[in-house]
Amino acid sequence: MAATAEQISPWLKGRSFASLREEFDRNGYLIFERVLAPDRVAEIRAALAPHLARDLLGRNDFEGTKTNRVYALLAKSPVFAELAIHPLALAFVEAELGDSCLLSAMLAINLHPGETVQPWHFDDGGVKIPRPRPALGISTFWAIDDTTEQNGATEIIPGSHLWDGQYIEGAVKPAHFTNEAEHDEGNRTDAIKLIMPSGSLAITKGTLWHRGGANRSDRPRLIITPQYCVGWVRQLENMALAVPADLASQLPERARELIGYSIHPPFMGYVDGVHPRRLLRTH
């Protein structure tokens, strides 16, 4: 069900949704401060704690060798489904990608002190359709910790969602996934950092160039990033396997639709000729 104007109005600060969409189309990103109440942030942090305690670090320069990444969050705790279907995020996601959009990935990213910058990339780059083109994905970033100048706030290049297929210095290469690439800072004067207090939400177009920042502080920096795609693009994470059917059946209806128990018209996504929701025993 699409988000309503009444649901999202508290976060628009008197602005119209249309004007914010115009800004989104122009700059490729939006920031909404303090969307989540502190008690909700604490609940999310507590749900993540046992998974972060495993201290599994990234395997390459892209994941970050001093970064914890917790994948398949919808299989970890129902509290994360509320982020995936938050009405403010979904209002912009559905306006851009359509109601048949899917949740492509949803993970927590915890940067430890000493982590270096990520390679520049854009999140719908797996779709090999030449740029410039409309975004085929939307990424959202929920700040669980404050994201600051020093602790690795995500860096973006405003307006870069409109660029063609040009290569930029420090862009991701296959060698970044095998630890064979030399580290290239790729610093740019046109980049800014998504500095936000805890509980805030940033939304970016899937074609916007960005990267995780370097953590030069003495504390970790934790965010959660639900990422969405149009209904006809393959999801980054195989949600049907990541979220077993018995867990999927307990999720809110919109969350089930987003992980793939839905149809992209007229019938993309069917199972044995029927709607996939018929496979779930829902309550």
Q: Per-residue pLDDT tens for 117-171? A: 999 999 999 999 999 999 999 999 999 999 999 999 999 999 999 999 988 999 9
Q: What's the confidence (pLDDT) of residue 236?
A: 97
Q: What percent of the chain has pLDDT over 90?
A: 89
Phi, psi of 257 (to 5 degrees): -60, -40
* Whether pLDDT at 95 is above 60: yes
Instruction: Supply the pLDDT for residue 283.
Output: 44
Radius of gyration of the chain (CA): 18
Strand order in the sheet with 201-205: 29-32, 201-205, 137-143, 221-229, 102-111, 67-70
- Specify the pTM: 0.94
